[in-house]
Structure formats: structure tokens, C-alpha cells
Amino acid sequence: MLVLDGKALAATIKEELKQEVDVIRQAAGKIPHLAAILVGDNPASQVYVRNKVRSCEQIGFRSTLIRMPEDVTQSEILTEVAKLNNDPDVDGFIVQLPLPKHIDEDQINLAIEPRKDVDGFTPVNIGLMTLGLPSYLPATPNGIMTMLERYGIQTTGKEVVVLGRSNIVGTPMTVLLSRKGEPGNATVTLCHSRTEDMAFHTKRADILIAAIGRPEMITADMVKEGAVIIDVGINRVDDATKKRGYRLCGDIDYAGLESKVSAMTPVPGGVGPMTVVSLLMNTLQASKS
């Protein structure tokens, strides 16, 4: 089985980005600047943002982190978004999700200037992506597409099953994989929580992309021999044998599938690092526009 090592691939791409930033610096050009708004104390969000800031430092980007308290008002977040929209020095920015329950995420997303939407979540960028026009692609789907391309996983003519219909991963994934090109040109089936007999679909998949948020729900009996597995899920499961009292796992039963599939992403160390790299690629693109 080929391990689709996102951590190693991300390190390679970061080095490529660093070299490009070094050239910009030597030419006295504008150094890419990524900003992030972090609301509250969600542990996972703090880890994600910390990784993004560290990655910026590694490749020579400038970065700004704006922290806001859990009880922040919607208008206060919108004020910060407006400042970043109008700051010519900031090339792109993200508002880290999830936001507290009293905040309307859609309203925040709609307020982001599309040309600075390096997460690729605004309707303008989603619409351009759907039409196959130049846009900032959503970070996680773009990371998966980059991984498929760099590891030489062919998608043309393949049966792809995507589990999960979120606007962040599942839905854009189906669009990207069905577009003309390689990776792409696939026949894509989207499954979700209301899908009946999910195993019927997963057993047909040449490539299975799991982003449904249920720990190790996809087992060996649900996957065909030689399939390629992309596991987007990252779940905490209680484990008394671990020092922290829990372990991280994906939506796939990794141990049960190792001997059956041809290639698979680990959790952690698979899709996550590629998401960060995609954000950096979008920011570099934004700095040039």
C-alpha cells in the first residue's frame, strides 16, 4: 500500500514556495501577507491557526493573527473583516471556523472581499470554480487535488465516491473531480447522512473520499480491493492507553484497510498539512493579483 504522506508532500511544496518568496525578496517585491481572525478558545482552531502562522514563517510570508473573545459580537467581527478588506498590505485572510454559535457564519463569509478570500469560501469564488474559471479554490479540496496529482493517482474515467456534502469539502470536491482535466474527468457520486445503503456506493469506488466526521465508520467490508482512500476526517476517540487519554483517527478504519487498498492517507499527517499548503498557495496567488 502506498501511504499518501501529506506531511512530506507539504514540506516539499513549502520549500518550493520559499524559493519563490526568496526570489520576490531579492527583487524587492511585495512579500505575501496572510491574516487570520481567531475567535474564542476552540483547541482545534488554535492548533490550525498556529500551524498556519508557523508555515508562513517557514516560507517567508508575513502573517497577522487577530484574536477575538468567545463573546464577541457579530458587528465586531464584521468590523475586523472590513478593516482587512480595505488594508492594501494584506493580500488574503481567513476567518477560522467554526465560529461561536451566536455568530452567523454565512454573514461573515459574505462580508469577505472575494479577491482576499484565500479560503475559497465566498459565493464568487465558489461560482467561478463551478464554471471552471480562475478562482481561489477551497483549501482542503485543492489540497486533495494537489495530492492526487503529485502522487500520480489517475482520476480520469474513475468512479469516485465522496462522503459528506459540506460546502467546505464534500460539495466542492465533487465539482473539482468532475471537471475536465487531470485530476478530474471522474464520475462522481456524493453520499451523505440521508443516503440509503451507503456501502452499495462505497464498494463501487475506485477512489473514496471520506469527509463525514464519524470515527472509523468506513470498514474493510465497505471498500473494494485496490481502492484509493482519502480520509479527510479527524476525530478524537477516548483511549485509556494513551497519555492524553485519547487518540486521533479519521473516518476510515486505517488498520483494517491497510492490506486491502492500493493507497491511503494517514490521520494525522495526510490531508491536514495539504490544507495549510493550499492556503499558502492561494495567498501567493493573491499577492500577485
Instruction: Enumerate residues 6+ apart whose C-beta is below 8 A from 250.
Output: 210, 215, 216, 231, 232, 233, 234, 235, 265, 267, 270
Binding-site residue positions: 164-166, 234
The pLDDT of residue 48 is: 85
The residue behind cell 494517514 is: 266
d(CA 38, CA 72): 11
Domain 139-272, CATH homologous superfamily name and number: NAD(P)-binding Rossmann-like Domain (3.40.50.720)
d(CA 13, CA 282): 13
Q: Does 52 qualify as catalytic in the annotation? A: yes
- Which part of the chain has CATH 3.40.50.720? 139-272
- Identify which of 202, 232, 239 has the alpha carbon closest to the alpha carbon of residue 218: 202
Q: Does 119 qualify as catalytic in the annotation? A: yes
d(CA 206, CA 161): 8
Instruction: Enumerate residues 6+ apart whose C-beta is below 8 A from 172.
Output: 120, 126, 129, 137, 138, 141
The dihedral through the CA atoms of 74, 75, 80, 82 has a sign that is positive
DSSP code per residue over 176-196: HHHSSSSS---EEEEE-TT-S
State which fold the 28-113 domain adopts: Rossmann fold (3.40.50)
Per this entry, what is the length of the chain?
Answer: 289
- Which part of the chain has CATH 3.40.50.10860? 28-113
The pTM score is 0.94
The pLDDT of residue 94 is: 96
Q: Which of 91, 96, 116, 231 is catalytic?
A: 96
Render each residue's pLDDT in the chain as its tens digit; 289 residues.
Answer: 999 999 999 999 999 999 999 999 999 999 999 999 999 988 878 888 989 999 999 999 999 999 999 999 999 999 999 999 999 999 999 999 999 999 999 999 999 999 999 999 999 999 999 999 999 999 999 999 999 999 999 999 999 999 999 999 999 999 999 999 999 999 999 999 999 999 999 999 999 999 999 999 999 999 999 999 999 998 888 888 888 888 889 999 999 999 999 999 999 999 999 999 999 999 999 999 8
Q: Does 96 qualify as catalytic in the annotation? A: yes
Binding-site residue positions for NADP(+): 164-166, 234
d(CA 286, CA 210): 30
The pLDDT of residue 272 is: 93
The pLDDT of residue 42 is: 84
The pLDDT of residue 47 is: 84
